[in-house]
Amino acid sequence: MSNIFWVFLMLCGGLAVAFQPSINAKLAQKVGVYESSLISFAVGTLAMLIVVLFSGRGNLRGISAASWWELTGGFLGAFFVTMTIISVPRMGTTSVMAAIIAGQLATGAMLDHFGLFGLRHLPMTPLRIAGMVLLAAGAALIIKR
């Protein structure tokens, strides 16, 4: 498949990530912050169970061969969702998204530069640094009231 397809899918993912904190924050007004996060993960777990049952091709028994740190994604996801539920009512969705994107970009650049987790090494370049600086400046302008 072409990169255009994958870019399109990631744009759809970005759309979902932009909606999720506001939806979860609204739910939190009815059930509580941590409860909203729990419900979000429970619904997501159910959705993924259905996907795995109908189209999964992996082997869940392979979890026994996983390192402890390979299992931290769920913890990181729970932290992320909970922090967005807490932050959106205080900062607004746009400011939260700007901070998230800036943090993701900087972290992604470091992961790429050092080839962490056995992923492809993509060195830090002046253009990448300039892009991060510009994005950070844009995020600061969005967050500043």
60 falls within a domain: no
What does the pLDDT look like over 50-69, one tens digit per residue?
999 999 899 999 999 999 99
Res 16: pLDDT: 93
Range list of H helices, the chain: 3-31, 33-55, 73-91, 93-114, 126-143
Whether 39 is in a domain gets the answer yes
Q: What's the pLDDT tens digit per position in 85-118? A: 999 999 999 999 999 999 999 999 999 999 998 8
User: For the chain, how many structural domains are there in total?
Assistant: 1
Domain range holding 119?
Answer: 3-54+73-143
Q: How far apart are CA 103 and CA 55, in angstroms?
A: 33
pLDDT per residue as tens digits for the range 27-36: 999 999 999 9
**Is residue 61 included in any domain, yes or no?**
no
Q: What SS3 class is residue 61?
A: helix
